A and B are shown apart, each in its own frame.
Chain A
Amino acid sequence: MTQAISVIKSGLLTTVQDLGRIGYQQYGMVAAGAMDPLALQVGNLLVGNPRGLAALEITLLGPVLRFERPCTIALTGADLSPRLNESPMPMWKRVSVKKGQKLSFGTPREGVRTYLCVQGGIDVPVVMGSRSTYIKGEVGGLHGRALQSEDQLPVGKTDDRHQRPGVRGIQLSRKYRPCYGREIRLRAVPGPQEEAFTDEAVERFFREPYQVTTQSDRMGYRLDGPKLSHRSGADIISDATAPGSVQVPAEGQPIVLTADRQTTGGYAKIATVISADLFRLAQAGPGCQVRFERVSVDEARDAAIEQEQFLRTIEYGIKGK
């Protein structure tokens, strides 16, 4: 394990994330993982990694990093004006970096979270099946915390096949890159506690726009908009949550639970955002407008299958080169 990347400045919140900690939620262990799993997986494919290897999740104000040895990298997700030394660094593209080169970021242009995928993956220890950082529980990532200046990051062994010159410069065509607009549409399946709400509240939830507030982080997104009324109180007997669960406390404003969500909660849940749309929320910053669209479980599954086919198309495209 060699130290491949030095952290010169940490940025606002830079953590190691993979696809999350699976299998320990029954012990209250928070799943964590990339907020935008689509960008993470595309980035890994671009550098020739398995889709779920650990990468850096960079939030809004990026870090300054120095490569201590040659690496093959790709940046996906939000466009935070990345620069390699003094030149703009392309997004959604495999890039070979030399020893001593510095990666830095500037003004956020589109989206909130960027993924830095490195060939070989960020090789921190696997804890309970995952390298994802869960800060509150002090597990995973680098010492269970966000990156700090002077940290050194190890990178896993690389596969020499990908080092040949012909496979450099692979990029995701523009037409396939996701757009992270200021107005997003999230498909959601009603329930499991929609009967805890008035009919009017459920109808309103799927009709009216909500704004992302500044009280939004890896745990959940607090939204602001028309009040959602409960029939007889917001509290339920504590029950499990899912990624995308929309819980509504007594004040009547929805909270969409995301990667670092608590495994169980005591507020009624009006709906669940479908898995294929969670990345859209992860890339929405404060002030963005959110609209919810009611879909069935089968429609939600079709969307998940469609997203999987998109990833497989990229995977085959890259392997064919």
Chain B
Amino acid sequence: MTLRFQPLGDTGVRIGFGEAIDPAIHRRIRNFTRKLEQTSIPGIVEWVPTYCAITIYYRPLDISYGDLLEKLRQLNENDRSVSKEAVREWELPVTYGGSQGPDLKEVARHNGLTSEDVVRIHSGARYRVYMLGFVPGFPYLGGMPDRIATPRMENPRPRIPAGSVGIAGPQTGVYPLETPGGWRIIGRTPVRLYDPHRQPPVLLKAGDTIRFRPVSEEAYSQIQQKLEREELRLEDLLYGAISDEMDS
């Protein structure tokens, strides 16, 4: 399988695997990431997997671009099977609509559905974390049914609270911290995807899967309190702890 290598200045190399948001490309990227994790190439500092590429950061003092590419090609051609990745599946409680999800009605109206339909469709799907980026812990999720796709707002809101669950075009995501944003906000989860005072600060990693579970506002408050008092641990949000590799 041919890969496309491109430099990001003298400290990065982008390895392109394709040109689309696609589960097969994602699987190849996960596979290459596993190979990187299980090997050690001098000079490599870290890497960031994205939808269509892995970007590797390296120290140019330790390795030349040409030598690095050679090592990465060898790594790609090495078919020695990498250990299978355990897929974590998270279940995130979400209260939909109301003040926590002010755009739920608009998403329903745009798609000719009822609010209940939108909640059922959104919480009925299983989502894959394709990548994390933008701000710490922000998951770019794949797998939202097109039936609830809705364009971004024309004027972004100056403040979107942490935990807000939004839709932008064919994508859905969860805001890890309060930022401005133009996504249509349909609900909120009490689970913090990013907490600098927690270990680890970022909950999700690329390759994880997520389901959203609708809860009442009352249940939302209870879960929030339990998380704050540490009566509920993050591991308790894992659905069946570990499941098999997802096919689609």
A27-B202, A238-B131 known; A192-B11 Cβ under 8 A: no
Q: Residues of B contacting A23 with CB < 8 Å?
A: 45-46
Closest chain B residue to A193, Cβ basis: B6
**Please, could you name 30 A-B residue pairs with CB atoms under 8 Å apart, sorted by A?**
A25-B57, A26-B46, A26-B48, A26-B49, A27-B201, A28-B132, A28-B133, A28-B136, A28-B176, A29-B136, A29-B202, A128-B201, A137-B136, A189-B9, A191-B6, A192-B14, A238-B131, A239-B51, A240-B14, A241-B8, A243-B9, A243-B11, A245-B9, A264-B140, A272-B12, A300-B10, A303-B10, A305-B60, A305-B61, A308-B61
Is B7 touching A264 in the complex (CB atoms < 8 A)? no
Smallest CB separation, B33 vs chain A (Å): 8
Smallest CB separation, B166 vs chain A (Å): 15
Q: Which of B38-62 contact A (CB under 8 A)?
A: 45-53, 55, 57, 60-61
**Interface majority SS on B: helix, strand, loop or mixed?**
loop
CA distance A240 to B54 in the complex (A): 8
CA distance A276 to B140 in the complex (A): 32
Chain A contact residues, CB within 8 Å of chain B:
22-30, 127-128, 136-139, 144, 188-189, 191-192, 237-245, 262-265, 269, 272-276, 297-298, 300-301, 303-305, 308
Chain B contact residues, CB within 8 Å of chain A:
6-12, 14, 19-21, 45-53, 55, 57, 60-61, 64-66, 131-138, 140, 176-177, 179, 194, 196, 200-202, 204-206
A-B contact count (CB 8 A): 153
CA distance A239 to B48 in the complex (A): 9
Is A240 touching B46 in the complex (CB atoms < 8 A)? no
**Interface majority SS on A: helix, strand, loop or mixed?**
mixed
CA distance A239 to B132 in the complex (A): 10
Closest chain B residue to A309, Cβ basis: B61
CA distance A23 to B194 in the complex (A): 16
CA distance A127 to B199 in the complex (A): 10
A137-B136, A304-B61 known; A240-B50 Cβ under 8 A: yes
Q: Residues of A contacting B53 with CB < 8 Å?
A: 239-240
Is A240 touching B133 in the complex (CB atoms < 8 A)? yes
